[in-house]
Each structure stands twice: as structure tokens, then as C-alpha cells.
Homo-oligomer: A and B are copies of this chain.
Amino acid sequence: MNVSRIGIMTSGGDAPGMNAAVRASVRMADHLGLEVVGIRDGYQGLLNGQIITIEPHQLDGIERLGGTILGTSRSAEFRTPQGLEGALEQLNRQNIEALIVIGGEGSFQGAHTLHRRGFPVVGVPASIDNDVGGTAVAIGVDTAINTALDAIDRLRDTAAAFRRAFVVEVMGRHSGWIALQAAIASGAEMVLIPEVPVPIETVLHRMREMKASGKSHFVLVAAEGISPTAAEIHAHLSQGGSVGFESRLTILGHIQRGGSPTAFDRLLAARLAARAVEELKAGRSGTVIGLRAMKTVVTPLDEVITEPHQFDPETYRFAEILAG
């Protein structure tokens, strides 16, 4: 089948660079003579028939904006059998012949159900946690790491002034990617990630050692998903207090999802989204477009959604060598 009209949506947790991906896909579609419509608010918006036309000139400047102008959602309804039927019906009614889904793991599972029903769909990985398959790095990761790094740099300014321990929680429920990269880049004294459980006694011991060695401050970077949590470690330090550093807590939270995307994220978004359009134009689908070895690569959705979460113990060891 020759695709002539495609839909594009952003789905799941938003990531900086989603807008750059939208812009690039519209540009490439225009270049290849395809019509594009936008679907608002992800799968839920599709179910609700929230379809908008996009003119290329309307997208001027959106590559710079954080968030997603299309909106996003997590839709429980779409995951039901009726939801799937409803979505296919809407796609049919709107004459959308193929779909680009910009999002993460959950979004690709949704894409996979459409694909198995024969609907042409291509995924573009965007997830600040870098916990999605089919690519070495997802859209949004670079911006999120730089946001976390900027915050940690600021803490180090004041840590040095005041001889304190700073516990800073960064995003990552199941993945320590942001925490690990930000810790290495900032020379943080310690990093805690979901993939490597560390008892609190070890944390306290490391702090005491550092204090004894004359270290004037201690920055602990903690991913969201660890146990005990950053807030619990902070509470423990504040009550016990015997490690020699006064503890202060920062929870970065969703500021890591916002901000103007970095050059890396905009370039990555542009390349992956443009390639996604090319694939659909060429009649290929059921895949995810990723980046490996500086090149765009295409991986079947079936493989992507079962790809184990990447974690490199070497990187963790490296963070320890560079620590503090």
C-alpha cells in the first residue's frame, strides 16, 4: 500500500526534543509529498478523535520548546480490547494510513498492538530515563542529564562553602542512567541506582571515610527508584547525624522533563523522526527507529518491547573511580 497520509502523536512521559521530532517528521513528510495530521494527547486523544492539521510553517521555532505541543497522556482505556478497536476505528475514520508514535516503553507496547492488527506504525524512542529498547540513546536523555548536572554543579558551589552532605534525587524509577551519567560528569562523591542496591550502612561508612580523609563536602546522587529513598536517607542523616556532615535534601523531580532541548536531543529527534517518515513512505513499518554507532537503525517492535533494560556494571565501577 502506498501511504499518503500519516498521523503523528507523542505519548507517555514527555521528554525534551519531542517537539523537534514533530517538526522534523512534518518537514520530511512535506519533502516526500505526504500529508501529516497531529493527534493530540496520545492514545487517549486518538480515542477521542482529537485530530489536528499541521501546516509546516506553524511549527517554526517549536524545535526549541520543551514539553510537547501535541500533548501526551497515559491511557488505560486504549489498553483494553475495546480501546484498541476504538483507536483503529478513529484511524480509519480520519483516513490516517500510518502512525508515528514518539514515546517510551509503554507507548511502544501500544504501537505493537496496533502493528499486530496490521496497522502500519513506526516508533521513535523518547524517554529521559533511557529505558527503551531499539536505540543506544533515546530523545530527552541528554537534556535531562544536563539539567541534573547543572543542579549538582550548583550544589557543589555551596557544599564547598558549608561542609555539608547533599542528597539529590534525580529521575529514574527503574533505571539509574541519569543518576550514573550525572554523577560521573559532576564528580559526585557517591551514586545510588536501582540496579545496584546498597545498604544504608555502606552509605554512612563512605561518608565517614570521606570526612576522615579531610573531604569538605559530600554529594550523593540518588535515583528515584532506590530503597531507602533519598528522602529517607536524608531523614536518617538528619536524625542520627553522626557522619560529620549536615545533610540537605534536593528533589529535582519533573524539572528534568522540561527545558529547551540540547543540540544533541534536537539532532537526534530530527534524524529519528525523519527516518521514521522515510520508512513509512517506503512501505515499511512495525519497527522502532534508533541510533547506534552514530547511524539510524531500524529494529522490529517485537524485539524492542522485549529487549532487556541496558545496564553496564563497568559504568558503575567507573563512577566509583572518579568519585569525589
Contacts and interface: CB of A to CB of B under 8 A. Distances in A.
A254 B158 contact: yes
Contacts of A73: 162-163
Interface stretch (A1-9, A78-86, A194-202, A258-266): A258-266
Interface in A60-93: 60-61, 63-68, 71-73
Contact of A162 (B14, B63, B154): B14
Given A60-B187, A146-B262, A263-B181, A155 B250 contact: no
A73 B136 CA distance: 37
Contacts of A154: 66, 147, 254-259
Contacts of A204: none
A190 interface: no
B254 A251 contact: no
Counting chain A residues whose Cβ lies within 8 A of the other chain, the interface size class is: 35 or more
A157 B263 contact: no
A322 interface: yes
A121 interface: no
A241 interface: no
A160 interface: yes
A112 interface: no
A182 interface: yes
Interface of A: 10, 13-14, 16, 20, 23-24, 27-28, 31, 57, 60-61, 63-68, 71-73, 136-137, 142, 145-147, 149, 151, 153-164, 166, 168, 181-182, 184-187, 214, 248-260, 262-264, 266-267, 270-271, 274, 292-294, 318, 321-322, 324
